[in-house]
Amino acid sequence: MTPERTLELADHCVKCGLCLPHCPTYRLTADESESPRGRIALVQGWLGGALPGSAALFGHLDRCLECRACELACPSGVAYGTLLDSARAHQRAHAGPLRRGAERIALEILSRPAGLRLLGYGAAAARGLGALRVASWLTLDRSRWLGPYLRLLPFLSPPPHATGTGPLATDTERTLNLFLGCVGRISQPRALEAATRLLARLGWRVRIPPDQRCCGALFRHNGFPEQADRLLAQNASALAQGPNLAIASACAAELRFSGTGLPVEEICAFLGRIAWPETLSLRPLGLRVAVHEPCSHRHPLGDTQAVYTLLGRIPEIRLETLPENAFCCGAAGNYLIRQPKMSARLLADKLRWLREQQPQILATTNTGCALHLAAGIREAGLAIEVCHPVELLARQLPAADVGAVTEPT
Ligand code: SF4
Ligand code: SF4
């Protein structure tokens, strides 16, 4: 997007300030430059030529989570997410080649199957060698450059080998593609397995298209729109034979709303709207389960209610909302690595609520949030399991049904 078009988007802002109370970074800092209105003014000043592209100005833009809570609150319909994505692309274009290259390499590692395998096996090897104790020590101070990475190691595993098809249902019309996401493959293999098992039990044949790639959101939100579009095009080809389900809400949002028109649905929304076999009774779960609502699920996907409705199918479950779900947990793609201090402050608020609420399980639909929250819970010494809602549902399938496939209803 050209600077002129970016400025046009910014011009929709009437500077009313109604978005300010909804912005997590403004809430923590009470600094106008850390607010949506302030950031829009900075972009206008910079791209309009009134302000230099200083490190301080870019720092304010970098600390934006792109949670888009401001967009939801804005009465003037400012497309804040698109505006900031574009500003970041201009910012990257101004960065030196070394910095741009290093950022690009880091993102490429995450978006490529070989890079993910390397990370997954590396994490498993570190666990095997007992290196996590060293990692824990290093992560005590998140400002150390390795700290933000190392705290995630306990939650990464080698990616599952499964490609191709899952268990068979009897009606091939009822076939769908499962989109795994990049980091989800190595941080949530149980959710992937649970989704396949649950869908098979509900009479759906699951395909895992081998050519699928990272959804591209990491690139788009870090100022590399061409790479994001390239990945989207690859996914559009891999997922051409829909319908498609994404397990991570952020991937679903990126694939659906980034201009490809790909028919991709977030898995809980799908499971909430299809018919379940009348004979299927889930096993009771007498535990307190808090629901975390990721920003990508609240907006742009919307309909987080489907998660509550679905989990409400489990008898005896004690379902609760995690307070202040409207505020980002600080994961925000790779924000947890790029901005470890601000990310930790946002996480601290979530941990405070978890300490107060004391659920036994925390359910969340987004991979990055699950990783960040699980790391924070571990660091805080809390006994709370973090999982995807489909894991809970699959776990409560009747014992005799596990792995079985039924006739479609
Ligand atoms: S609510 Fe919308 S119009 Fe008002 S300051 Fe925020 S972004 Fe600008
Ligand atoms: S996207 Fe989130 S962090 Fe960024 S300005 Fe809007 S509300 Fe604040």
pLDDT digits (tens, 9 = 90+) for 307-328: 999 999 999 999 999 999 999 9
| Ligand 1 midpoint to CA 76 (Å) | 7
| C-beta of 22 in contact with ligand 1 (< 6 A) | no
3-class secondary structure, 356: helix
pLDDT of residue 346: 97
What is the structure's pLDDT at 166? Answer: 43
Q: Which of 163, 160, 266, 252 is nearest to 215 (CA)?
A: 252
Query: Which of 231 and 135 is assigned the larger pLDDT?
Result: 231
Q: Which residue puts its alpha carbon closest to atom 4 of ligand 2?
A: 64
For residue 91, what are its two tokens?
């910012």
Of ligand 1's atoms, which has the minimum distance to the CA of residue 12?
3
The beta strands (E) that lie in 74-166 are given as 164-165
Q: Is residue 406 scored above 50 in pLDDT?
A: no
Into which CATH architecture does domain 3-94 fall? Orthogonal Bundle (1.10)
- Percent residues over pLDDT 70 in the chain: 89
Choosing among 2.60.40, 3.40.50, 1.10.287, 3.40.109, the CATH entry for 288-395 is 3.40.50
165-182 exposure pattern, b = at least 16 Cβ within 10 A, e = fewer:
ebeebeeeebbbbbbbbb
Pocket test for ligand 1, best of 78, 80, 82, 83 (most atoms within 8 A of CB): 78
Report the pocket of ligand 2 as residue ranges, CB < 6 Å: 22-25, 36, 39, 64-70, 80
pLDDT over 70 (residue 137):
no
Pick from 345, 347, 363, 365: which is nearest to 355 by CA? 347
pLDDT at residue 409, as a whole number: 32
- Is the pLDDT at 144 greater than 60? The verdict is no
Q: Does residue 135 carry a pLDDT above 70?
A: no
So what's the pLDDT on residue 131? Answer: 61
Q: Is beta strand 264-266 parallel, antiparallel or unpaired with respect to 385-387?
A: unpaired
Q: Which pLDDT tens digit goes with each residue over 198-219?
A: 999 999 999 999 889 999 999 9
Q: H or E segment at 101?
A: helix 97-111
Using DSSP's 3-state secondary structure scheme, residue 10 falls into helix
Q: Given pLDDT bands bounded at 50, 70 and 90, which one contains residue 163?
A: very low
DSSP letter assigned to residue 301: I
Higher-pLDDT residue of 169, 267: 267
Q: What integer is the mean pLDDT of 170-197?
A: 85
164-276 placed in CATH 3.40.50: yes
Sequence spans of domains, the chain = 3-94, 98-153, 164-276, 288-395
Instruction: Provide the pLDDT confidence category of residue 366 given band limits of 50, 70 and 90.
Output: very high
Atom number in ligand 2 closest to CA 328: 2
Apex 386 CA angle, 397 and 282, nearest 5: 15
Q: CB under 8 Å to 226, separation ≥6 — which residues?
A: none
In this structure, the residue with its CA closest to atom 8 of ligand 2 is 23
CA separation, residue 211 to residues 33, 100, 208, 235, 256 (Å): 42, 27, 9, 7, 18
**Same CATH fold, 288-395 and 164-276?**
yes
